[in-house]
Chain A
Amino acid sequence: AQSVTQLGSHVSVSEGALVLLRCNYSSSVPPYLFWYVQYPNQGLQLLLKYTTGATLVKGINGFEAEFKKSETSFHLTKPSAHMSDAAEYFCALMYSGGGADGLTFGKGTHLIIQP
């Protein structure tokens, strides 16, 4: 079975500080990993994804994530938080094969930016 665990349902950082949102996964096959962001009253928007190749993935709005197979992690970072980064963030793992297809999501992390 595949699963995604996001550590911390709420993370609070000061504006200008480093943002670190943690994601660990469990998968029996090489994973495809995603980070999505959900702004209030909006749908989910793709931030970045890892499929194969370079393990450091850069996304939109200055975010990046590093795939670490040995740690089964895909943590999301941003060097300097902006007020506009306040949102819900979801880590997800794609499964495919055996007739199945879709994303398994973590429970989400609510990012709060303190002025």
Chain B
Amino acid sequence: DADVTQTPRNRITKTGKRIMLECSQTKGHDRMYWYRQDPGLGLQLIYYSFDVKDINKGEISDGYSVSRQAQAKFSLSLESAIPNQTALYFCATSDRATGAGNTIYFGEGSWLTVV
């Protein structure tokens, strides 16, 4: 079983609909992240969370919101999806306790298509 699990893995939704992507991890890490990948653009940080009570905006947070329901769960919501939010979304985790340069571990991604 994957250490970082994302659901759904694939989703097609209509413009204006609310969509939630969920992430859970079994690594026991305190930090969690949501990234977006667009072809030719690499990955961009949407939101990150240091713990349940600490949530921060990343580079491209407009149009997105997040919820850290527990240390192991971090969900990403699109309140009103638009076509240019069509992308591959990654959840990731890291462990602050490992110190500087700690590795960030990625889930397998969630393909979201907004039509």
Q: Give residues in A with beta carbon < 8 Å to B.
A: 9, 32, 34, 36, 42-46, 49-52, 90, 92, 94, 96, 99-103, 105-108
Q: How far is the CB of A63 from chain B (nearest CB, A)?
A: 16
Does B100 sit at the interface, judged by CB under 8 A?
yes
Q: Are A44 and B90 also in contact (CB < 8 A) when A32-B101, A101-B48, A102-B33 are?
A: yes
SS of B interface (majority):
strand
Q: How far is the CB of A112 from chain B (nearest CB, A)?
A: 16
Interface centre among A9, A36, A92, A102 (most CB of B within 10 A): A102
| 27 A–B contacts from the bound complex (CB under 8 Å) | A34-B104, A36-B106, A43-B4, A43-B107, A43-B109, A44-B43, A44-B90, A45-B106, A49-B101, A51-B100, A52-B100, A90-B42, A90-B43, A96-B100, A101-B48, A101-B56, A102-B33, A102-B45, A102-B48, A102-B104, A103-B45, A103-B104, A105-B42, A107-B40, A107-B42, A108-B40, A108-B42
Neighbouring B residues of A100 by C-beta, 8 Å: 56
Neighbouring B residues of A107 by C-beta, 8 Å: 40-42
Q: How far is the CB of A104 from chain B (nearest CB, A)?
A: 8
Neighbouring B residues of A34 by C-beta, 8 Å: 103-104
Contact mask B21-61 → A, CB, 8 Å, 1/0?
00000000001010000001111110010100000101000
B90 x A99 contact (CB < 8 A): no
Neighbouring B residues of A102 by C-beta, 8 Å: 33, 45, 48, 58, 104
Q: What 7 A-B pairs are tightest by C-beta distance, nearest first?
A: A51-B101, A32-B101, A105-B42, A44-B106, A43-B108, A43-B106, A107-B42
Q: How far is the CB of B52 from chain A (nearest CB, A)?
A: 16
Contact mask B98-115 → A, CB, 8 Å, 1/0?
001101111111000000
Q: Are A94 and B42 also in contact (CB < 8 A) when A43-B106, A102-B48 are?
A: no
Neighbouring B residues of A99 by C-beta, 8 Å: 56
